Amino acid sequence: MKSLSELKIGIVGCGGISRAHVTAYRQAGARIALVYDVNRAAAAALAKEVGAQVADSLASMADPGAIDAASICTPPAFHLEHCLPFVRARIPVLCEKPLEISVPRAKRLATEVKKHRSLFLTAYCHRFHPPVIEARKLIASGAIGRPLFFRNMFAGKFVLRGNHRADPKLSGGGCVADNAAHAVDIFRFLVGDVTAVQAQVANVAQKEKVEDFGLLFLRGKKGCYGEIACCYSTPVATNFVEVLGDKGTITINYWVPGRPDITIRREGDTADTVIDVSQAPDRFVAEIRHFLDCVAGNAKPAVTVADGLASAEVIAAAYASAKSGKLIRI
């Protein structure tokens, strides 16, 4: 088995999120060997930044002699096509979320991963966010009793125009496909599977082909209900997760200056208790370290292709509900 410093990584898609991947790989000691992008200039720029070679094609990159693992950082509509060469060559894959733009395409990918018994991690990075990990531990320990209600908002300003997310053929949708997909995964991680969804989507400020606002109501298998809101058009970012149980409440604040990352208040408490997670690694660093641990054979993927598929099913149900006005069972 190779050591971390001997591992050669391939990056497919050299845009925004690829930077978070390469920074974390390099921090962990792994080497970026090959990069690929349909935009040759984007590939050349990243190659220069990290001292890698530009691959001529995906096929040449999907060679176990060339790389030991690959990160897929392209728009969602390409995830199936871009993962398959690696999955078939049994090269471990870390694929960005959402898994794909439709349930049939996500299913095809899941089937191939299973068929080839390939190592595959879906990059739902919030499972590696230290406050989310802490919340899961607290819930499992019974600290807030039985979870009854989950609330999550991911709202901020994101200009769609000119980004791949504005094209539904590339993204599969707007903030619901992009941000609510994270929220659904956090719901599943903290309080269990989703059995039904009712949703509304709208273009509240940006008149593009995809929504800039979404509201989802979830019913969970273990009896917890959920409310998820997401928006691309609010300049004052509001990002939080709350889990309300029959004995207490956990609150996670994302990136709010002056507010603690995570607090808990139990029945009878007169104030919140702050939980210090400041020493834990950032979620991208933790995610990549976990992926490399899996590649080294020391761990099993914490977010599987089945998790990616489960989230895709909820998001597809949300769009179906928004269109029909009905509650959709999953």
Ligand X SMILES: NC(=O)c1ccc[n+]([C@@H]2O[C@H](COP(=O)([O-])OP(=O)(O)OC[C@H]3O[C@@H](n4cnc5c(N)ncnc54)[C@H](O)[C@@H]3O)[C@@H](O)[C@H]2O)c1
Contacts to ligand X by CB under 6 A: 13-17, 37-39, 42, 73-76, 78, 96-97, 123, 125, 164, 178
Q: How far is the CB of 329 from ligand X (least distance, A)?
A: 27
Q: How far is the CB of 199 from ligand X (least distance, A)?
A: 19
Q: Note the helical H segments in the chain.
A: 16-28, 40-50, 58-61, 79-88, 103-116, 130-140, 168-171, 175, 181-191, 283-295, 305-324
The single-letter code of the amino acid at 278 is: S
* Between 165 and 294, CB nearer to ligand X: 165
Tokens of 284: 């991208």
Nearest residue to 52 via CA among 64, 75, 70: 70
Nearest residue to 144 via CA among 178, 202, 94, 190: 190
Distance, in Å, from the CA atom of 72 to the CA atom of 87, rounded to the nearest integer, reads: 12
* Between 96 and 134, CB nearer to ligand X: 96
Q: How far is the CB of 220 from ligand X (least distance, A)?
A: 23
Q: How far is the CB of 268 from ligand X (least distance, A)?
A: 37
* Between 38 and 204, CB nearer to ligand X: 38
Q: How far is the CB of 12 from ligand X (least distance, A)?
A: 6
Distance, in Å, from the CA atom of 12 to the CA atom of 49, rounded to the nearest integer, reads: 15
Distance, in Å, from the CA atom of 327 to the CA atom of 145, rounded to the nearest integer, reads: 28
Estimate to the nearest angstrom the gap between the alpha carbon of 249 and the chain centroid. Answer: 24
* Between 19 and 107, CB nearer to ligand X: 19
Q: Which residue is nearest to ligand X (CB)?
A: 15
* Between 178 and 211, CB nearer to ligand X: 178
Tokens of 196: 């039904």
Q: How far is the CB of 5 from ligand X (least distance, A)?
A: 25
How many C-beta atoms lie closer than 10 Å to residue 252's C-beta? 25
* Rounded to 5°, angle at Cα 54 from 51 and 60: 130
* Between 41 and 236, CB nearer to ligand X: 41
* Between 15 and 281, CB nearer to ligand X: 15
Q: How far is the CB of 16 from ligand X (least distance, A)?
A: 3
Residue labelled with tokens 């019913």: 219
